[in-house]
Structure 1
């Protein structure tokens, strides 16, 4: 029996769902417009997406739920985008979250977006977001989290916004969004070991993942001493063409240069490795015959262990029945 219910807006392939099901939740409503994400979500969760386009959802048709979860599109706020904030079509999707919050008044919500949301339009965009949430009757907490601090060898910073209905709101001394869990990758050794655990055996990686010999040669010329770079490493290319070698992966992005991230300067991460970098369990499948599709879907989801840590604190604060819980580590889900 579930301990609470949740609505899964901008559901993607279900990363947020995985985290909240692991603490006893039941999904009663889902919304996702991308057809590829719909297919992967429905096949893996064996549950149909309720609605496709949030702009067409009547708020009063959404079932009552305890928690509203929404990781709405980030390009309007990302440094990789045009930084139009709430003024472009994707940024304005936030107001559909507000419609549903006003109508359904769940006990609490959790939203996720890029760290840069705090700084767009000199901070005005986030102030508008926060004010709109407060006007719906919620006390708001926020914090920037990094998936490296939750056991995943991926540098992925995301703004987490949690709100409690004013009638249920804790004070700042009793609730805080967790910034790490026990699996935190605090040292280079920790990060490299975690990366090694995630990478597939070289003999199992299809040749199509390998960069051309020219690209590999160019990468080797761009670093000072190839022989001094420990393995495994991820070679990261920024927009200026500068190469940095790291013991962890840079942020997975839905769209980027094909050679943005290269394992040991040789190949791109496989779809299975990308899923592991977001903390998905091994049973979760994405057809890897189309690498562009796999990259888009994994780049648009959330780091499950990070969201799980937030979910545990949120659910504990609301004092839902804690009879049975699930622990989510990087890439695994096991019963406590």
Structure 2
């Protein structure tokens, strides 16, 4: 496709570029991407993800100026930082959530400022499924009301990415908005399903399907102890289980933990015959998922579970890379939605 004819995208809160890469694969051209984290911006540059990459606060972006520079923008994409809407936020005493969060509460309103000033044909908004919970009714209503006020109809869905062939049971909220005069957006039909359900769909893609070639332990990894002081317990937990294995409710003869006394991810292990659970953005010594061989996951494995190409470059130290890939939208999920947007609104070309 001629570069000049590709639908033009502005990407906000771009991170390592999961959304951007999915859109690029579908035939879009990201003319402008931005993030506040320098390492993420460097990763975007390293992988040639946008014509222009801005590293800085979204509140300082003049979107009118952007439109003047690049002409009509076809699509706005982005996932505002999710901690204000995360389920774990409810466990943090004294931490405000939603719009009151002091670090990122401004991000959702800024996304809609961009929508107002750019006025693209279509937008994609992504966040954690907690965004739709009753505790965030104000923010969810803001999204719906603001979209309508700006002349957009919306279609939204909480997606389990495993149901679209991603090897991860990662639930995320996606909202697709389109100008009122444009055709309705309908989410692509789910293609995969939990294999225990008797349907004609494909079974979930499993961890074993995508990372089995890494099923070994290096000399360096032999000296590491996931779970720290509970490493010996980790080795006893069956693949696909967590600390609850050692509770009275589960029938363990000498219980070591009380039921639901820890985060669910505590000592959580992958199973090769099912998808991964959600990859977290922060590396942890005792919060999983861990490999079924009782070791930390490798960045190469995280990329596979998040459907990044092996050759995609992540810059920084190990924990920096982990944060980048853990925060990303799975590339395959982004590509499925981008391809549908391309089909419905751009007929494969601009």
Within the alignment, does 1:29 sit opposite 2:57 as a pair? no
Q: What secondary structure, in the 3-state scheme, does the structure 2 residue paired with 1:128 have? A: helix
Gaps of 5+ in 1: 227-232, 324-336
**In the alignment, which residue of structure 2 is the partner of 1:201?**
214
C-alpha spacing 1:179/1:321, structure 2 compared with 1 (3 Å): closer
How many aligned positions are there? 307
Aligned 8 A contact 2:168 2:278 in 1: yes
Structure 1 residue corresponding to 2:10, chosen from 7, 23, 48: 7
Confirm whether residue 276 of structure 1 aligns to residue 304 of structure 2. Answer: yes
* Mapping of residues 1-336 of structure 1, within 5 Å: 1-2=2-3, 3-45=6-48, 47=50, 48-63=52-67, 64-82=72-90, 84-89=97-102, 90-121=104-135, 123-168=137-182, 170-171=183-184, 175-181=185-191, 184=192, 186-187=194-195, 190-191=203-204, 193-203=206-216, 205=218, 207-208=220-221, 210-212=224-226, 214-221=229-236, 223=237, 226=238, 233=239, 235-236=241-242, 239=263, 241=266, 243=268, 246=271, 247-255=274-282, 257-259=284-286, 260-264=288-292, 266-287=294-315, 290-322=317-349
2:290 touches 2:297 (CA, 8 Å); kept in 1? yes
Offset from partner CA, 1:45-73 (integer Å, 9 cap, x none): 26551342211111212233100001110
1:245 CA drift (Å): 5.7
Normalising by structure 2, we get a TM-score of 0.79
The Cα shift of 1:191 comes to 4.6
Distance of 2:134 and 2:319 partners within structure 1: 29
- Largest Rg, 1 or 2: 2
Deviation string, structure 1 residues 4-33 (Cα, Å, up to 9, x no partner):
111011111111111111121111111111
**1:7 match: secondary structure:** strand
Alpha-carbon deviation of 1:84?
Answer: 1.2
TM-score (norm. length: structure 1): 0.82
Question: How far apart in 1 are the matches of 2:231 and 2:188?
Answer: 40
Q: Following the alignment from structure 1 to structure 2, what is the Cα–Cα distance between the partners of residues 139 and 262?
A: 41
Give 1:326's aligned residue: none
The equivalent of 1:331 in structure 2 is none
Seen in structure 2, the aligned counterparts of structure 1 residues 192 and 280 have a Cα distance that, compared at 3 Å, is closer
Query: Residue 275 of structure 1 contacts residue 298 of structure 1 at CA under 8 Å; is this kept in 2?
Result: yes
